Structure 1
Amino acid sequence: MPQTWYTSDTHFCHNNILKHENRPYATVEEMNESLIEIWNKTVSNNDTIYHLGDFVFGGSTKWESILSRLKGNIHLVVGNHDDKKMIKKFTDKFASVEDMITKKIDKQHLFLFHYPIEIGLTPNAYSIHGHIHGRESNYVNQINVGVDSPFTKGAVGFGNLIPEELLLSELKIRKELVMELRSNKGENM
């Protein structure tokens, strides 16, 4: 049965990300190979992946070399480091290319965007994002699914994709926290 996965900020072919995020690789080629291997061990050809931006750095050859090797149907949410000219050349390789995707799952509204969105203490709305790499999200209803994020590292390990069922499980926990925060805020008014 096909599954759905979430990730962000792979930064394939980006040399500087190795030092900026202290990734555990000596070279960008080693990083690319490791992230591709992790991806393809996890994802099947019929799976859906939501990649929330900062996908590949470089020209057509680099994009082709990465895209041709990844399994699954990739929905790309454009990040600040994604080259729009390259995306245009490879649009047919993606299931979709969007600036933001909204999804509703089990009454939960998910805003899939490269950047974290401040939603407020809303128990059924969540910002699923990347962009901030190894930093925690600022709010309880924001989840950073980037490969370097504390959430990813703690839940599935660096570089791994987040399965939708794990994300939904985390949303249930966070909904309780949102409700508690709302309740406490009401007591202080």
Structure 2
Amino acid sequence: MIAEILEQLNGHIVIIKGNHDSRALFKYLAAHNPVLSDGKPKYEFEDVGRIIKANHHQFFLTHYPMLFGQTPSSINLHGHIHHTMVAIPENINVGVDSTDLDYLMADERPVWSTPLNFNEIETIIQRKYDDFAKRR
């Protein structure tokens, strides 16, 4: 079951609802939400997404690709579209099967299904911008 897998993961987890997620799953997890050593619940839930500010960027973490304006400071990190990418440099598909991962060299890629770290995301952003600049 999903709850058993999530319990094995370390730290505070923000779960962003996707198209295959049900309200029943969120309700179950909320009712069985372990408390961490800092007194905070392990799981937090978002219907649409979360904004994280870092390195002069606003990262919009969403399940679906969304348009937040084409500005270098607003980056949408999303999944949902599997083997494709949004043809906008500010949208980065971070799914495990994303073609945006092709912006990383073979020796830079994380092990399959390992989350991207911040440096890998910054590398993808810069190389996608460079690639799209060449196309103009």
Q: Same fold (TM over 0.5)?
A: yes
Q: Deviations over 1:87-122 (max 9, x none)?
A: 122132544211210111111011111000123431
Distance in 2 (CA, whole Å) between partners of 1:71 and 1:133 is 26
Quote the residue 1:167 is aligned against. Answer: 121
| 1:85 shift after superposition | 1.1
Extract unaligned runs of 5+ from structure 1: 1-61, 185-189
Identical residues among aligned pairs (%): 28
Q: Deviations over 1:53-84 (max 9, x none)?
A: xxxxxxxxx12222222233211111111121
Q: Is the 8 A contact 1:111 1:128 kept in 2?
A: yes
TM-score if structure 1 supplies the norm length?
0.54
Pick from 61, 76, 96 the counterpart of residue 127 of structure 1.
76
Q: SS of 2:64's equivalent?
A: coil
Distance in 2 (CA, whole Å) between partners of 1:106 and 1:176 is 18
Quote the residue 1:13 is aligned against. Answer: none
Verify: 1:84 aligned to 2:46, yes or no: no
Change over 3 Å in CA distance of 1:152–1:170 after alignment to 2: closer
Q: CA RMSD in A?
A: 2.4
Change over 3 Å in CA distance of 1:66–1:88 after alignment to 2: same
Pairing of 1:39-58 with structure 2 (within 5 A)? none
Quote the residue 1:42 is aligned against. Answer: none
Distance in 2 (CA, whole Å) between partners of 1:101 and 1:111 is 6
Distance in 1 (CA, whole Å) between partners of 2:128 and 2:72 is 8
Task: State the number of aligned residues.
Answer: 120
Distance in 1 (CA, whole Å) between partners of 2:69 and 2:86 is 13
| 1:140 shift after superposition | 1.1
Extract unaligned runs of 5+ from structure 2: 35-41
| 1:175 shift after superposition | 5.1
Distance in 2 (CA, whole Å) between partners of 1:164 and 1:95 is 21
Distance in 1 (CA, whole Å) between partners of 2:101 and 2:15 is 19
Change over 3 Å in CA distance of 1:177–1:120 after alignment to 2: farther
Distance in 1 (CA, whole Å) between partners of 2:54 and 2:101 is 20
User: Relative contact order: is structure 1 or structure 2 higher (C-alpha 8 Å, sep ≥ 6)?
Assistant: 1
Q: Is the 8 A contact 2:101 2:124 kept in 1?
A: no
TM-score if structure 2 supplies the norm length?
0.73
